[in-house]
């Protein structure tokens, strides 16, 4: 492509609060029956008045602080007027002039993507179109749910980066516990603005893409749209500023409507709500509630545990597993000297990521659903490291611990699974194997390598997999060469 794609992203996020934005109806995304969570306020009955949800405001400011935003001392709400059947009041309470958060940024792979603002508004209801019917239905359960909107500057330069931005944003929202931000459920809705430019610093006409309900769709739609614009420009045609929808099945964007301007919405200050003042004290209080964020965690896991990037990413993405891992490490720390620690950490990481996650069969790890407590897991790893459990038996033991929650040492004792490393004991088994397998011994002497493997297999079988293979190898070799 001769052109550089320039992208700006807008994300709408439903906040996880007890009640709706301006009334006391429950904010419950799991309500399946239509129009159960409604009242005179969120259905806009004449004479009803809104009251601001403090929790929603705090969660918006918390998000802003986590994304390096400035929080203006005063903010207020505005009315955005438009007519649509899912909008009971005929206007949406939103923010235009003085949003809660301004001028932040989020770093993606070392590049700062500037965030223009984060504001708060209310969600609309939902239209339902029964198949074959000549009418539509409206469900107001969603009307009035707090909806946070984040707008970036046009700083994103590839579809991949747009996707990464959206993914990292979702992770941060989850760490902050401000939203579940599930894209499939519409709790996080992303729009990408796409334009092409030839000259650095000069912006081309943009097209806004809607209906993106997965990260994959964000990337695919952006790539498609950039290609579409590229072809038009190559033919000498102009890009029309418009809103296009993403058709996931066909893999194309489709024109929906030409762009409306802010003045089309006849914005004006919301007369039913007072402006809000945020004192330094309140901002500090909210700041103190921000937990360790993904970026800090990546850095700390590298520094403290010296893990590879891929493992770190699994622990960061899967917060519960990361916390479980850290509990195991602190068990090690309580028992051990430093040199051994990294070895154990690495071993634990491998068993967590490949074996334990495997037992969850693709389901999300959660400590609550894991019967093995961190102390027990730590013991299990220590025993492997000390050579008391072979890696083969380890899998059996883990499976058993996973389904029963019983201690490692218990299982080993009960099933007599402890690894046999004692040379004398192994020699006894080898003697038995030699006496029963004269043919294989002859073959070995004739130089057949696989006869040796066969004999090892026999020893392992008699020991029920418990003999230490390294010891078996060395004792057997010695025996065969000296006999």
Which CB sits closer to ligand ADP, 156 or 372?
A: 156
Distance CA 433, CA 455 (A): 7
CB 126 → ligand ADP: shortest distance, Å? Answer: 24
**Is 6 within 8 Å of 154 (Cβ atoms)?**
yes
CA distance 471 to 428: 13
From the list Zn ion, ligand ADP, none, partner contacted by residue 206 (C-beta under 5 to 8 A by kind): ligand ADP
Of 81-89, 138-146, 168-176, 201-209: span binding ligand ADP (CB under 6 A)? 201-209
Structure token digits, residue 399: 């499976």
Sign of CA dihedral 462, 464, 467, 472: positive
Judged by CB under 6 A, the number of residues near ligand ADP is 14
Q: Is the dihedral of CA 316, 319, 320, 323 positive or negative?
A: positive
* Pick 22 or 365: Cβ nearer Zn ion: 22
Site string for ligand ADP, 203-242 (x = CB under 6 A): xx-x------------------------------------
Q: Which residues make up the interface to Zn ion (CB under 5 A)?
A: 23, 25, 39, 41-42
Task: Work out whether 151 is an interface residue with ligand ADP (CB under 6 A).
Answer: yes
Question: CA–CA separation, 245 vs 211, rounded Å?
Answer: 6
Burial class (CB in 10 A: 0-12, 13-18, 19+), 452: middle
Q: Is 75 a binder of ligand ADP (CB under 6 A)?
A: no
Q: Which does 23 bind (CB under 5 to 8 A by kind): ligand ADP, Zn ion, none?
A: Zn ion
- Report how far residue 369's alpha carbon sits from residue 352's, in angstroms, rounded to the nearest whole number: 15
Establish if 95 lies at the interface with ligand ADP (CB under 6 A): no
Residue 39 interacts with, from Zn ion, ligand ADP, none (CB under 5-8 Å by kind): Zn ion
Residue 378 contact, options ligand ADP, Zn ion, none, Cβ 5-8 Å cut-off depending on partner type: none
- Chain positions 9 to 28 lying near ligand ADP, rule: CB under 6 A, are 9-10
Distance CA 100, CA 469 (A): 65
Q: Is the distance from CB of 420 to CB of 459 less than 8 angstroms?
A: no
Q: Which residues pair with 247 in a beta bridge?
A: 252
**Where is 252: in which H helix or E strand?**
strand 252-258
Indicate the residue among 64 and 204 with the shorter CB distance to ligand ADP. 204
Q: Which does 316 bind (CB under 5 to 8 A by kind): Zn ion, ligand ADP, none?
A: none
- Nearest residue (CB) to ligand ADP, 170 versus 195: 195
Does 193 help bind ligand ADP (rule: CB under 6 A)?
A: yes
The residue (of 2 and 361) whose beta carbon lies closer to ligand ADP is 2
Q: Is 170 helix (H, G, I), strand (E, B) or coil?
A: helix
CA angle in degrees (0–180, nearest 5) for 265-221-319:
95
- Interface residues with ligand ADP (CB under 6 A) are 6-10, 151-154, 193, 195, 203-204, 206
């Amino acid at each position: 492509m001769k052109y550089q794609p320039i992208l700006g992203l807008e994300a709408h996020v439903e906040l996880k609060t007890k009640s709706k934005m301006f009334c006391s109806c429950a904010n419950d995304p799991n309500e399946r029956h239509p129009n159960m969570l409604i009242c005179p306020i969120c259905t806009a009955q004449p004479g009803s008045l809104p009251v601001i949800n403090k929790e929603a405001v705090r969660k918006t400011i918390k998000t802003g602080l986590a994304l390096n935003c400035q929080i203006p001392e005063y903010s207020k709400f505005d009315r955005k007027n438009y007519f649509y059947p899912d909008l009971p009041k005929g206007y949406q309470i939103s923010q235009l002039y003085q949003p809660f958060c301004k001028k932040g940024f989020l770093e993606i792979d070392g590049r700062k993507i500037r965030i223009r603002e984060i504001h708060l508004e209310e969600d609309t209801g939902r239209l339902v179109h029964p198949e074959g019917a000549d009418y539509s239905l409206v469900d107001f359960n969603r009307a009035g749910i707090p909806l946070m909107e984040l707008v970036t500057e046009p700083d994103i330069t590839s579809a991949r980066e747009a996707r990464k931005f959206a993914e990292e944003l979702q992770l941060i929202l989850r760490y902050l516990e401000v939203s579940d931000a599930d894209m499939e459920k519409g709790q996080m809705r992303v729009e990408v603005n796409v334009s092409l430019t030839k000259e650095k610093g000069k912006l081309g006409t943009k097209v806004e893409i809607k209906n993106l309900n997965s990260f994959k769709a964000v990337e695919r739609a952006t790539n498609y749209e950039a290609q579409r614009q590229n072809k038009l420009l190559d033919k000498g045609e102009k890009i029309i500023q418009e809103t296009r929808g993403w058709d996931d099945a066909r893999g194309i964007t489709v024109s929906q409507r030409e762009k409306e301007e802010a003045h089309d919405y006849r914005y004006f200050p919301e007369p039913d709500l007072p402006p809000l003042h945020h004192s330094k004290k309140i901002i500090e209080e909210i700041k103190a509630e921000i937990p360790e964020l993904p970026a800090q965690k990546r850095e700390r896991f590298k520094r403290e545990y010296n893990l590879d990037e891929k493992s770190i990413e699994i622990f960061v993405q899967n917060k519960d597993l990361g916390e479980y891992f850290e509990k195991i490490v602190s068990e090690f720390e309580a028992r051990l000297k430093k040199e051994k620690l990294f070895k154990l950490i690495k071993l634990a990481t491998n068993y967590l990521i490949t074996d334990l996650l495997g037992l969850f069969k693709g389901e999300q790890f959660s400590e609550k659903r894991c019967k093995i407590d961190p102390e027990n897991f730590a013991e299990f790893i220590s025993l492997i490291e000390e050579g008391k459990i072979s890696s083969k038996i380890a899998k059996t033991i883990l499976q058993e611990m996973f389904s029963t929650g019983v201690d490692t040492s218990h299982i080993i004792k009960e099933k007599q699974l402890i690894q046999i490393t004692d040379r004398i004991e192994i020699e006894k088994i080898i003697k038995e194997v030699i006496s029963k397998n004269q043919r294989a011994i002859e073959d070995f002497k004739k130089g057949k390598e696989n006869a040796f493997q066969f004999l090892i297999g026999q020893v392992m079988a008699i020991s029920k997999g418990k003999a230490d293979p390294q010891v078996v190898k060395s004792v057997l070799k010695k025996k065969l060469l000296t006999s």
